Amino acid sequence: MNKTELVKAIAENANLKVSETEKMVNAFLDSVATCLKKKSKVTLVGFGTFAVAHRKAKIGINPKTGQKISIKAKNVPVFRAGKALKDRVK
């Protein structure tokens, strides 16, 4: 499912206009991104937690050439599913 399909599914499920639903989905995504940029967590009880994890710098290997390359440390977004979501997917 892509973003357009998600917006349509939510609009149908909540009996809303697609344009209104798209604004809400965009606002949700922007809010989550803003919180993650501040290195805060976003916890939705029963669904999961969006957070930021730090990846250390490391040495990698270019698969084409076999040459060693340096990979810089960086922060990456992560999602941990909550118990209720895990149970629904089983």
Query: For the chain, which residues make up each domain, given as ranges?
Result: 3-89
Give the span between the Cα atoms of 17 and 22, in whole angstroms: 9
Give the per-residue pLDDT at 46: 92
Give the per-residue pLDDT at 74: 96
Q: Which residues of the chain have pLDDT under 70?
A: none
Tell how far CA 79 is from the center of its chain.
6
| pTM (2 d.p.) | 0.81
Give the per-residue pLDDT at 24: 97
The CATH homologous superfamily to which domain 3-89 belongs is IHF-like DNA-binding proteins (4.10.520.10)
Give the per-residue pLDDT at 55: 96
Phi and psi at residue 62, in whole multiples of 5°? -70, 120
Give the per-residue pLDDT at 58: 96
Q: What percent of the chain has pLDDT over 70?
A: 100
